[in-house]
């Protein structure tokens, strides 16, 4: 199906930009000492980044747990959330493939996210990982300002990532990762007489994991805590503008508590808290050049200032946190039930949704399925959409070959 340019705009904005009203649309109330929306009420001031596809949860397992994934048990999809978990992986090799339809509720059938990731344990305490993310936005009919056709294009974006993780002790691990990012939305076209180009960027991830066993009421439980700083990278622009945009650098803190109920049953409770490490939009222009100061900060300066630059102070900073809560039940390590909830403040994007899903393991491979249930009138690109992930356990495959001999 050939999508319209309007669909492209929806695709780009739906993940982070929905219902966003910039600080320039808000007014300062002298009596209350706060920025407010025209006519009163809270000031909607969503954080804006480019390359939002980097923050899309790629796998169906976490997609069924409210997007929680920083501290859950490691598999190949740890490459997105927290690569340091791979040092605790119990299998020597793992591979995952996920296909996610995008904007399915709008009857669009050629927009999708594909994700391929894998890892290899190179020693008892070390692991390396690779990940490839590809986002296709279908076919677009380009037009000029008068609506005259300018041909067609196939906007797409991809990310290639490599990581190295290592245990520093029996209970603590760390990882570093590097990635190359490419985004081609409308290269060769123009906007306002300015040439549009493809974007190339580099970024780094740093992560840490703590894992330990805790005995509770004579039951063995596993407590995992993870910290991940992702997408620390160069600012980019689709034109030759000197004012480049921030990519979605993020700070994530997660915890997971796995309770082994008995020999066959276990349940895991997980929660993630995420915060974008980018400046909050504001009208401040101290140098008087007509460009808001927050857009002129460097990547590092923007990340540091993001903890204290909200126009309405600390209360607004807390509203920039995004919360994921998930639960996973396993029976005999072969069948899983999952559910979760994701929420963020109504002034910072207003994404709120429930998720449910299933997981199955059989010998060499496993399959995960997730389904997103919206809880607000705001549309989500994954509304009422099934996602599928396949995981392959090559260690089990080798064991089967040996047993046949």
DSSP secondary structure of 140-154: EEEE-TTS-EEEEE-
SS3 95: strand
Q: Which residues contact 146 (CB under 8 A, 6 or more apart)?
A: none
Which pLDDT score, from 0 to 100, does residue 349 have?
Answer: 86
- Where is pLDDT greater, at 236 or 4? 236
What integer pLDDT is reported at residue 1 of this predicted model? 37
Among residues 364, 233, 242, 226, which one has the least CA distance to residue 302? 233
pLDDT tens digit sequence for 153-173: 889 999 999 999 999 999 999
**DSSP tag of 122:** E
Identify the sign of the CA torsion 87, 91, 95, 99. Answer: negative
Per-residue pLDDT, averaged over 311-318, amounts to 89
Question: The domain spanning residue 90 has which CATH number?
Answer: 2.40.160.40
- pLDDT for 193 beyond 80: no
- Report the pLDDT value the prediction gives residue 365, as an integer from 0 to 100: 87
User: Closest Cα partner for 323 from 66, 60, 15, 47?
Assistant: 66
pLDDT tops 70 at residue 45: yes
Q: What would the mean pLDDT of 268-282 be, rounded to a whole number?
A: 95
Strand partners, 337: 329, 358
Domain that includes residue 176, residue range: 2-404
Q: Is the pLDDT of residue 185 over 60?
A: yes
Q: Is 21 exposed, middle or buried (0-12, 13-18, 19+ CB in 10 A)?
A: middle
Residue 31 has pLDDT above 70, yes or no: no
Reported as a single tens digit per residue, the pLDDT across 227-260 is 999 999 999 988 877 788 999 999 999 999 999 9
| Model pTM score | 0.87
pLDDT tens-digit series, residues 280-298? 988 787 777 778 888 888 8
Number of compact structural domains in the chain: 1
CA pair distance 282, 311, nearest whole angstrom:
7
Structure tokens at 243: 């004012």
pLDDT for 363 beyond 90: no
Which of the residue ranges 113-122, 249-258, 331-340, 344-353 would you say has the lowest mean pLDDT? 344-353
Q: Give the tens place of pLDDT for each residue, 75-85.
A: 999 999 999 99
Read off the pLDDT of each residue in 124-144 and give the average, rounded to a whole number.
89
pLDDT at 290: 75
Instruction: Using the predicted structure, report yes or no on whether residue 148 has a pLDDT greater than 80.
Output: no
């Amino acid at each position: 199906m050939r999508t319209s340019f309007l669909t492209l705009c929806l695709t780009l904005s739906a993940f982070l930009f929905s219902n966003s009203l910039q600080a320039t649309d808000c007014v300062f109330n002298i009596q209350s000492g706060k920025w407010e929306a025209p006519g009163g009420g809270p000031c909607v001031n969503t954080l804006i980044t480019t390359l939002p596809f980097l923050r899309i949860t790629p796998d169906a397992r976490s997609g069924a747990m409210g997007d929680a994934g920083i501290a859950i048990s490691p598999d190949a999809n740890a490459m997105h959330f927290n690569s340091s978990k791979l040092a605790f992986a119990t299998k020597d090799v793992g591979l995952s493939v996920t296909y996610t339809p995008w904007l399915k509720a709008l009857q669009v059938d050629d927009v999708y996210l594909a994700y391929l990731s894998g890892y290899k344990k190179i020693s008892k305490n070390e692991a390396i990982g690779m990940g490839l993310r590809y986002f296709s936005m279908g076919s677009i009919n380009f037009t000029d300002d008068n609506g005259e056709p300018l041909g067609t294009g196939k906007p797409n974006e991809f990310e290639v990532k490599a990581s190295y993780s290592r245990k520093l002790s029996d209970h603590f691990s760390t990882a570093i990762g590097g990635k190359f990012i490419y985004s081609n939305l409308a290269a060769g076209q123009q906007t306002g007489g300015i040439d549009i180009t493809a974007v190339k960027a580099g970024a780094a991830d740093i992560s840490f994991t703590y894992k330990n066993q805790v005995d509770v009421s004579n039951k063995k439980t596993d407590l995992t805590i993870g910290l991940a700083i992702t997408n620390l990278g160069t600012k980019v622009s689709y034109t030759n503008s000197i004012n480049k945009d921030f990519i979605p650098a993020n700070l994530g803190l997660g915890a997971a508590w796995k309770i082994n109920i008995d020999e066959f049953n276990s349940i895991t409770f997980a929660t993630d808290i995420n915060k974008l490490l980018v400046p909050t939009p504001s009208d401040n222009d101290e140098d008087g050049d007509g460009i808001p100061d927050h857009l002129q900060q460097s990547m590092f300066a923007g990340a540091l200032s993001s903890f204290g630059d909200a126009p309405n102070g600390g209360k607004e900073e807390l509203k920039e946190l995004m919360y994921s809560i998930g639960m996973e039940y396993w029976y005999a390590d072969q069948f899983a039930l999952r559910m979760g909830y994701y929420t963020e403040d109504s002034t910072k994007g207003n994404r709120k949704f429930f998720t449910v899903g299933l997981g199955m393991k059989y010998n060499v491979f496993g399959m995960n399925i997730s389904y997103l249930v919206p809880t607000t009138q705001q549309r989500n690109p994954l509304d009422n959409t099934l996602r599928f992930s396949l995981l392959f356990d090559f260690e089990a495959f080798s064991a089967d070959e040996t047993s046949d001999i």
